[in-house]
Amino acid sequence: MTNKAETNQNNCPDIYPSRDNCQSNLMERLDPVVYSDPRQLPDARHTSSQYFSLPLSRELIYQYEDQGFLMIDNVFSPEEIKSYQDELEALRTSHSLKGAEETITEKESGDIRSIFKVHEFSQIFRQLMQDSRLVELARFILNDDIYIHQSRINYKPGFRGREFYWHSDFETWHVEDGMPRMRALSISITLTENQEYNGPLMLIPGSHRYYVSCEGETPSEHFKGSLKKQELGTPSDEHLQYLVKRGGIARATGKPGSVTVFDCNTMHGSNGNISPLPRSNVFMVYNAMSNQVVAPFCHQPPRPEYISARRHITPITNKCSNI
């Protein structure tokens, strides 16, 4: 049974229906993955400088288009990585952020799980968000001016850092934030060792080509629970099985400073962390200006500004990277 397209609170047709009495369903993606023409790029196998430089090679963009993500190393200098790590700790121990709505704690231990809107709380992460190495890559893939839909640090602390169950970010951002189309991406940067033993990001290659409608109804203020433990807006076992059978599971392991770029609809998740070593990453979510959020496609009020930019949307003017 297909899910009939409804409209949202301001009559935008919902071409990616999910939840709201939908059955769990798997449909083909209706949007491009890469909005620019990769043939514009050199087919250089290796970048010229010691660090990652732009433009990215055609081969890597084709890989992103095919897999739904890309892992890149040697983007940042050791000094830059150290500054991000110092900022990670400064935000974690900040008194002003203790108890703030942007600070999400782990359900059981009370340890800090995530801090949202870090590009506004931190000058260093604001600069990172505007860094041309990230912005130019995102702009190329999305082929539009871009803005930050959401930024966050996921701390995944040692010993008791809990999992992030399998999900497509786009399913949540479409249903709960009103993101119309798949024209957004996340850039995740590891700030600590991300290894097999401490719950690295896992992605399903090729899963971005399918939209998985989820069952269930979005309750009011769902984000107050889902950011701690997501139980709604998650794929059925059957659909997860299908995607994994088809594409396997890739792990974004790496030393601090490793970059993973992934499409808004790539199915991903991460296991809990019982090792003593935190698995902390900073995430910047870039959305195309032509894809600004409208009213949610569920029958709930929009989520707060710190989770989904809505009122103050301005295109990013990138700052040259300082390498």
- Interface residues toward Fe ion, by CB under 5 A: 169
CB of residue 233 to ligand 6CS, shortest distance in Å: 8
Compute the least distance from the CB of residue 164 to ligand 6CS, in Å: 5
3-class state of residue 165 by DSSP:
strand
DSSP track, 13-30: B-SS--STTPPPEEEE--
167 binds ligand 6CS (CB under 6 A): yes
The binder of ligand 6CS chosen from 151, 172, 188, 190 (CB under 6 A): 172
Site for ligand 6CS (CB under 6 A): which residue of 203, 293, 307, 309? 307
**CB closer to ligand 6CS, 198 vs 234:** 234
In whole angstroms, what is the distance from residue 153 CA to residue 188 CA? 9
Q: Is 265 exposed, middle or buried (0-12, 13-18, 19+ CB in 10 A)?
A: buried
Is residue 174 a contact residue for ligand 6CS (CB under 6 A)? no
Of 145 and 163, which has the nearer Cβ to Fe ion?
163
Give which of ligand 6CS, Fe ion, none residue 307 binds (C-beta under 5 to 8 Å, depending on kind): ligand 6CS
Question: Taking contact as CB under 6 A, which single stretch among the options 72-80, 166-174, 253-261, 291-299 is the one that binds ligand 6CS?
Answer: 166-174
249 and 69 in contact (C-beta within 8 Å)?
Answer: no
The answer to whether residues 8 and 14 touch, using CB atoms and an 8 Å cutoff, is yes
Q: Which does 232 bind (CB under 5 to 8 A by kind): Fe ion, ligand 6CS, none?
A: none
Query: Which lies closer to Fe ion via its Cβ, residue 41 or residue 189?
Result: 189
Q: Pick what 230 binds: ligand 6CS, Fe ion, none; C-beta below 5 to 8 Å, kind-dependent.
A: ligand 6CS
Asked whether the CA dihedral 90, 93, 97, 102 is positive or negative, the reply is: positive
Do residues 115 and 153 lie in contact, with contact meaning Cβ atoms separated by under 8 Å?
A: yes
Tokens of 35: 């909005």
Q: How far apart are CA 280 and CA 111, in angstroms?
A: 13
Which tokens in the block code for residue 317? 């003017």
Contact range with ligand 6CS by CB under 6 A, out of 82-90, 164-172, 237-245, 290-298? 164-172
Nearer to ligand 6CS (CB atom), residue 162 or residue 167: 167
Is the peptide bond prior to 55 cis by the omega test (within 30 degrees of 0)? yes
- The span of 20-28, 52-60, 117-125, 162-170 binding ligand 6CS (CB under 6 A) equals 162-170
Contact partner, 168, from ligand 6CS, Fe ion, none, Cβ < 5-8 Å per class: none
**Alpha helices, H only, the chain:** 58-67, 78-92, 118-121, 123-130, 132-142, 169-177, 223-226, 237-247
- DSSP, res 273: B
* Interface residue with ligand 6CS, options 25, 168, 194, 230 (CB under 6 A): 230
SS3 (DSSP) at 104: strand
Choosing from 52, 155, 164, 211, the residue that interacts with ligand 6CS (CB under 6 A) is: 164
When binding is defined by CB under 6 A, the residue of 169, 171, 193, 263 that contacts ligand 6CS is 169
| Residue 130 interacting entry, from Fe ion, ligand 6CS, none, C-beta within 5 to 8 Å by type | none
Q: Which is nearest to 130 in space by CA: 302, 318, 320? A: 318
Q: Which residues bind ligand 6CS (CB under 6 A)?
A: 150, 152, 164, 167, 169, 172, 226, 230, 307
